[in-house]
A and B are shown apart, each in its own frame.
Chain A
Amino acid sequence: MDFNYSDEQKLLIDSVERFIQDDYDFDTRRAILKSEDGFRRDLWQKFGELGWLAVPFSEEDGGLGGTAVETMIIMECFGRGLVVEPYLSTVVLAGGLLRHGGTTGQKETVLPELMAGTLLAAVGYAEPTSRFNLADVSTTAEKAAGGYVLKGRKSVVLHGPMADKLIVSARTSGGRRDEAGITLFLVDAGAAGVSRQDYPTVDGLRASEIVLDGVSVGEGDVVGVVGEGFALLERVIDEATAAICAEAVGAMETLHKATLEYARTRVQFGQPIGRFQVIQHRLVDMYMAYEQAKSMAIMASLKLDAAPEERRRAVSAAKVQIGKSARFIGQQAVQLHGGMGMTDELNVGHYFKRLTMIETLFGNTDFHLKRYAA
């Protein structure tokens, strides 16, 4: 039994933590949120130089051969800094689909640029009325000469506005909510028939509504096996879910620390509010919620390569715990900061907003409770 990080992993933690401290303070992030692009391409390139974009890819694909633990480390640190750059979409989601299901040709054309930081990608897995069900796919892929024609709409595609490549789910056969008959396609974001409506999200990211109106793709653009895309997509969404669980842990840790510090220094009624037992117990409850969440995030990351049934249950269990902890810690951090916690000026509200959206992302607590119990 060993929960310790290896020396290499410790170096990775140091490097990401140093980046957050030196290059990604709160004001820098605020400026990024207000900018036209909504992310910093120079910082993204730095991620590439530092090797972070190559972490999960195998050495034969030109990557560093990292495990889920390395991804967890990076995402947890990103959670502390509320990094908005498209790591989740490009490396974890799109990168994951290509890693597990991409053809040699797709890997050779996409991965080198992706790892170098010159190619960004996003994944369209949700539709306007699909909610969190990945099998609820109405977008169609009709067979045509040499490939397929895609028609449909993908909603809330995170990091869609900055993506060069998209991977979308579409139905090649079967009924609307059948798991069988779903196929994943690699699409050029600028291809004819792709149109986007871009918008900011409440937690500082950018997203797109993407309409696919007769988009032609080739046979070679199928990611994975025709009609069997669901299992691949579900696996990668589980990996991404574990990644945002880690991100949430980083955000919760920062929020708890900030609240603890505030309780130690904010004086009301002649003493720091942290001397009041009601505040002490609240901070203890927050601390326990954080520890439980951290345990579950680790558990989920370690089970990502288990058999699908075990992986599903582990990820859903973690997401339920993270959802509950994130809501409690987020709300209480705002509450204990009083009016200051409500402001846009203080970082607390920004963490709270991100945690709220993580609670929703890839299925909220109700969804994962059901999936676990199923």
Chain B
Amino acid sequence: MDLSFSAEDLAFQREVRSFIAENYPADIKARFDAGLEPRKEDFVRWQKILFEKGWVAPAWPKEYGGTGWTATQKYIFQEELGAANTPGIIPFGLSMVGPVIYTFATEEQKKRFLPGILSSDVWWCQGYSEPGSGSDLASLKTKAVRQGDKYIVNGSKTWTTMAQWADWIFCLVRTDSSVKQQEGISFLLFDMKSPGVTVRPIITMDGGHEVNECFFDNVEVPVENLIGQEGMGWTYAKFLLGHERSGIAAVARSKRGIAKLKQIANTEQSDGSPLIEDPDYRRKLAELEIDLTALEYTELRTLARESQGKGPGPESSILKIKGTEIQQAITELAVEAAGYYAFAYNRRAMDGANEPVVGPAATAFAAPSYFNMRKTSIYGGSNEIQKNIIAKMVLGL
């Protein structure tokens, strides 16, 4: 057992670090460090920089544009991106539909779709949840009826993240209602500009616009946009959710979050001393940091198993549950640190309007961030569902 990095790994770490230092655009960094609402162009610009370098899809097989890195190198890469607070890689193309396409699609489909995903020229969104199908995803009702060489799609999807920016959607649709729920689902790709597609924003309680409802009214989709076989969509969907879970521990980002909390606690005053000297606050910060260390080592053990060709298995649900709880706890402590100034609603500044915030800049968005992060224990399979997965698949209950 040896957890230290090899000389090659350390050299790789230096290479990644200096690449980020030299290539991460200062204006994007300023926006992200200030905690402003991200913009599409920031994500695209940064992903294109990684793409030019050949680093945008480390998880992909080399033949499709991956890096051929070891599990340790992939881990180091993620750590460095997180530590530098770069925009997160938007998962819908690169982590979700991309792997489904190179694993299950035809050669022609791979040629058609993978280049746009790698170059970030095509923005994807995920058509999974429906108003009546959240945790019980397999009950979805959006229908695709085959007519000649087309499917006619009718129905709606909801909580569609960043659909307002999307060019294409990968969509779970019901193609057969006469069989068991899971066996009547197919995996369709279609253009969001197709006639009959309507996107309606959903404003969340923090005032932000990330998610949307999508309505499909007789949308015509060519049959060549079906991935794999009709009725096999559930298998592909589960494969994709496994990929979604593997990056979800967000250890590097939470480390940054805790570092930022410490900065805040060093400047916030409580009875004339920095808040960090308050034993109660200090103890909570320490507990959080210990939780994160435990998660980090659990993730490392998962990675080690993966590098031996095992997983990501159902135990990766631990990473989702603990990872999101820690992300949420960080925002709770930020609200506590902000004191009364947590009240101030600096929405326009958060959206990038050039106006001063009320109170210290470091905590100006503490409350909206806390509200927003409640989503993490709901999305990607709620934490209750993750526990069901562990109970069933890991513990055999």
By the criterion CB–CB under 8 Å, are B359 and A353 in contact?
Answer: no
By the criterion CB–CB under 8 Å, are B341 and A155 in contact?
Answer: yes
Residues of B contacting A341 in the complex (Cβ-Cβ under 8 angstroms)? 374, 378
- When the two chains form the complex, which single residue of A278, A335, A360 contacts B339, counting CB atoms closer than 8 Å? A360
By the criterion CB–CB under 8 Å, are A268 and B139 in contact?
Answer: yes
Residues 355-397 of B contacting A (Cβ, < 8 Å): 358-359, 367-368, 370-371, 374-375, 377-379, 382-384, 387
Residues 119-174 of B contacting A (Cβ, < 8 Å): 129, 132-136, 139, 158-159
By the criterion CB–CB under 8 Å, are B335 and A345 in contact?
Answer: no
Interface membership of chain B positions 255-280, coded 1 if the CB is closer than 8 angstroms to chain A and 0 otherwise: 00000000000001111100000101
Provide the bound-state CA to CA distance between A350 and B203, in Å.
Answer: 13
By the criterion CB–CB under 8 Å, are A342 and B378 in contact?
Answer: yes
By the criterion CB–CB under 8 Å, are A360 and B342 in contact?
Answer: yes
Closest residue of B by beta carbon distance from A271: B136
Residues of B contacting A156 in the complex (Cβ-Cβ under 8 angstroms)? 340-341, 343-344, 359
Residue B204 lies at the interface, judged by CB distance under 8 Å to chain A: yes
Residue B281 lies at the interface, judged by CB distance under 8 Å to chain A: yes
Provide the bound-state CA to CA distance between A32 and B343, in Å.
Answer: 18
By the criterion CB–CB under 8 Å, are A269 and B136 in contact?
Answer: yes
By the criterion CB–CB under 8 Å, are B135 and A268 in contact?
Answer: yes
Residue B205 lies at the interface, judged by CB distance under 8 Å to chain A: yes
Residues 242-269 of A contacting B (Cβ, < 8 Å): 267-269
- When the two chains form the complex, which single residue of B129, B134, B281, B370 contacts A356, counting CB atoms closer than 8 Å? B370
Residue A45 lies at the interface, judged by CB distance under 8 Å to chain B: no
Q: Given A202-B368, A339-B159, A366-B281, do A278 and B343 touch, yes or no (CB 8 Å)?
A: no
Residues of B contacting A158 in the complex (Cβ-Cβ under 8 angstroms)? 343
By the criterion CB–CB under 8 Å, are B202 and A338 in contact?
Answer: no
- When the two chains form the complex, which single residue of B339, B346, B367, B382 contacts A338, counting CB atoms closer than 8 Å? B382
Provide the bound-state CA to CA distance between A129 and B161, in Å.
Answer: 39
Distance in Å: Cβ of B254 to nearest Cβ of chain A? 18
Residues of A contacting B139 in the complex (Cβ-Cβ under 8 angstroms)? 268-269
Distance in Å: Cβ of A157 to nearest Cβ of chain B? 10
Residues of B contacting A209 in the complex (Cβ-Cβ under 8 angstroms)? 358
By the criterion CB–CB under 8 Å, are B129 and A339 in contact?
Answer: yes
Residue B336 lies at the interface, judged by CB distance under 8 Å to chain A: yes
Residue B113 lies at the interface, judged by CB distance under 8 Å to chain A: no
By the criterion CB–CB under 8 Å, are A342 and B375 in contact?
Answer: yes
Residues of A contacting B211 in the complex (Cβ-Cβ under 8 angstroms)? 339, 342
By the criterion CB–CB under 8 Å, are A129 and B204 in contact?
Answer: no
Interface membership of chain A positions 277-289, coded 1 if the CB is closer than 8 angstroms to chain B and 0 otherwise: 0110000000000
Provide the bound-state CA to CA distance between A343 and B206, in Å.
Answer: 8
Closest residue of B by beta carbon distance from A363: B339
Closest residue of B by beta carbon distance from A155: B340
Provide the bound-state CA to CA distance between A327 and B270, in Å.
Answer: 23
Residue A207 lies at the interface, judged by CB distance under 8 Å to chain B: yes
Residues of B contacting A234 in the complex (Cβ-Cβ under 8 angstroms)? none
Residues of A contacting B312 in the complex (Cβ-Cβ under 8 angstroms)? none
Distance in Å: Cβ of B285 to nearest Cβ of chain A? 12
Residues of A contacting B387 in the complex (Cβ-Cβ under 8 angstroms)? 278
Provide the bound-state CA to CA distance between A360 and B334, in Å.
Answer: 12
Q: Which of A11-19, A55-63, A130-138, A217-225 contacts B (4 or more CB under 8 A)?
A: A130-138
Residue B207 lies at the interface, judged by CB distance under 8 Å to chain A: yes
Residue A200 lies at the interface, judged by CB distance under 8 Å to chain B: yes
Closest residue of A by beta carbon distance from B158: A339
Distance in Å: Cβ of A210 to nearest Cβ of chain B? 12
Closest residue of B by beta carbon distance from A344: B203
By the criterion CB–CB under 8 Å, are A360 and B340 in contact?
Answer: yes
Distance in Å: Cβ of B203 to nearest Cβ of chain A? 4
Residues of B contacting A292 in the complex (Cβ-Cβ under 8 angstroms)? none
Distance in Å: Cβ of B283 to nearest Cβ of chain A? 10
Provide the bound-state CA to CA distance between A156 and B204, in Å.
Answer: 24
By the criterion CB–CB under 8 Å, are A202 and B367 in contact?
Answer: yes
Distance in Å: Cβ of B52 to nearest Cβ of chain A? 36
- When the two chains form the complex, which single residue of B278, B335, B377, B384 contacts A278, counting CB atoms closer than 8 Å? B384
Distance in Å: Cβ of B237 to nearest Cβ of chain A? 16
By the criterion CB–CB under 8 Å, are A342 and B344 in contact?
Answer: no
Q: Given A136-B271, A268-B136, do A335 and B378 touch, yes or no (CB 8 Å)?
A: yes
Distance in Å: Cβ of A27 to nearest Cβ of chain B? 15
Residues of B contacting A314 in the complex (Cβ-Cβ under 8 angstroms)? none
By the criterion CB–CB under 8 Å, are A126 and B358 in contact?
Answer: no
Provide the bound-state CA to CA distance between A350 and B371, in Å.
Answer: 10
- Please indicate which of the listed interface residues A176, A338, A357 has the most CB atoms of chain B within 10 Å of its own CB: A338
Provide the bound-state CA to CA distance between A352 and B378, in Å.
Answer: 16
Residues 333-355 of B contacting A (Cβ, < 8 Å): 335-336, 339-346
Q: Given A156-B340, A357-B342, A357-B343, do A343 and B374 touch, yes or no (CB 8 Å)?
A: no
Distance in Å: Cβ of B139 to nearest Cβ of chain A? 7
Provide the bound-state CA to CA distance between A307 and B8, in Å.
Answer: 71
By the criterion CB–CB under 8 Å, are A342 and B335 in contact?
Answer: no
Residue A110 lies at the interface, judged by CB distance under 8 Å to chain B: no
Provide the bound-state CA to CA distance between A155 and B363, in Å.
Answer: 15
Provide the bound-state CA to CA distance between A364 and B342, in Å.
Answer: 12
Closest residue of A by beta carbon distance from B204: A342
By the criterion CB–CB under 8 Å, are B335 and A360 in contact?
Answer: yes
Residue A349 lies at the interface, judged by CB distance under 8 Å to chain B: yes
Provide the bound-state CA to CA distance between A191 and B311, in Å.
Answer: 70
By the criterion CB–CB under 8 Å, are A335 and B342 in contact?
Answer: no
- Please indicate which of the listed interface residues B129, B278, B343, B378 has the most CB atoms of chain A within 10 Å of its own CB: B343
- Please indicate which of the listed interface residues B136, B203, B278, B342 has the most CB atoms of chain A within 10 Å of its own CB: B342
Question: Assuming A132-B339, A199-B346, A342-B374, what are 4 further A-B pairs, CB within 8 angstroms?
Answer: A131-B270, A199-B345, A339-B379, A366-B280
Could you list which residues of chain B lie within 8 angstroms of chain A, going by C-beta atoms? 129, 132-136, 139, 158-159, 202-205, 207, 211, 268-272, 278, 280-281, 332, 335-336, 339-346, 358-359, 367-368, 370-371, 374-375, 377-379, 382-384, 387
- 16 residue pairs bridging A and B, Cβ less than 8 Å apart: A132-B340, A156-B344, A202-B345, A207-B344, A278-B387, A339-B378, A342-B375, A344-B203, A344-B207, A345-B203, A352-B205, A353-B367, A356-B335, A357-B367, A364-B339, A366-B278
Could you list which residues of chain A lie within 8 angstroms of chain B, going by C-beta atoms? 126, 128-129, 131-133, 136, 155-156, 158, 176-177, 197, 199-203, 205, 207, 209, 267-270, 273, 278-279, 327, 331, 334-335, 338-339, 341-345, 349-350, 352-353, 356-357, 360, 364, 366, 369-370
- Leading 8 A-B pairs by shortest Cβ distance: A349-B205, A268-B136, A156-B340, A201-B343, A129-B269, A344-B203, A202-B367, A202-B345
